[in-house]
Copies of this chain bind each other. A is one copy, B any other.
Amino acid sequence: MTTARSRLTPEREVELFDAVLALLREVGYSALTMDAVAARTRSSKATLYRQWGSKPQLVATALQRCPPHGDIDIDTGSLRGDFHALLSHSDDAQMKQDSELIRGLFQAVHEDRDLYEALQERFIGPEISRLTEVVDRAVARGEVRSDNPARELAAHMLLGAFFTREIIDDQFPDREFLTRYIDSVVLPALEA
Contact = CB atoms under 8 A, between A and B. Distances in A.
Interface of A: 28-31, 102-104, 106-107, 109-111, 116, 119, 124, 128, 148-150, 153, 155-157, 159-161, 163-168, 170, 180-181, 183-185, 188-189, 192
A11 to B, nearest CB: 30
A188 B190 CA distance: 9
A155 B150 contact: no
A177 to B, nearest CB: 9
Given A160-B157, A188-B192, A103 B103 contact: no
Contact of A30 (B107, B153, B159): B107
Nearest to A173: B156
A164 B163 contact: yes
A124 B30 contact: no
Contact of A185 (B28, B103, B150, B159): B150
Nearest to A110: B103
Contact of A28 (B102, B107, B161, B168): B107
